[in-house]
Amino acid sequence: YVRRIIATSQSIEDASILIMVSSHARGFGLKFVPAVRESSHVPIGATVGWHRVTVLLHTDWREWSEQERSAVIAHELAHASRHDFVWVVVASWTRILLFFHPLVHALILRLRMEQELAADQLAAGKVGNAKAYGRALASLALRSQQSLGTSNPKLGSMLAAGQICVTRRVMMLKQGSLK
């Protein structure tokens, strides 16, 4: 599935995005600058790969404000700096092997939530503060739900399932749980 998304995605050559990615990559101490691509198959953004990391942005990234772009890129590079994709793969294999055990499914959901919260904490520090980051996150989540929910049923269901996650993340940012 990931290979298909990358294969159908388009490379982003916009200088401002490439400079932003390079700057954030240095800020996270990454020894590489990931490739940046756009795809309509990701709700907002995604980071894939561990050897050749690629940041995927939704095709409407040109409509995002500078703050929103920075927040998404910082968030995705936080995942790269933490090697979260490796743990997603390990969790997927665990789910396949232990599909029959309900606790495995619950623990994998918890792992994903913790990865998102950790990436939020790192990204909020890179873009300025938790409040500005939370506003960007909430704005993008609302727009994505409105624009993608009707045009792509699969993405719409992903966004609906992830709405609780986004709501919880924004609430934690607002309450100052993430500094």
pLDDT at residue 108 is higher than 50: yes
The whole model's pTM is what? 0.84
pLDDT at residue 67 is higher than 60: yes
Q: What percent of the chain has pLDDT over 90?
A: 56
- Give the mean pLDDT of the chain: 85
What pLDDT is stored for residue 54 in this prediction?
A: 95
79 vs 150, higher pLDDT: 79
pLDDT tens digits along 31-53: 999 999 999 998 899 999 888 89
Four-residue CA torsion sign, 162, 122, 31, 83: negative
Four-residue CA torsion sign, 93, 95, 98, 99: negative
pLDDT tens digits along 123-161: 999 988 888 898 898 888 887 766 655 455 444 444 444
1: amino acid identity, one letter: Y
Four-residue CA torsion sign, 86, 145, 38, 127: negative
Q: How far apart are CA 25 and CA 77, in angstroms?
A: 7
* Mean pLDDT, range 154-170, rounded to an integer: 55
**Letter string b/e over residues 75-107, b meaning 16 or more CB atoms within 10 A of that residue's CB:** bbbbbbbbebbebbeebeebeeeeeeeeebeee
Tokens, residue 146:
């409105």
Could you tell me which of 74, 82, 76, 84 has the C-alpha nearest to residue 130?
74
Tokens, residue 109:
């959901």
What pLDDT is stored for residue 77 in this prediction?
A: 97
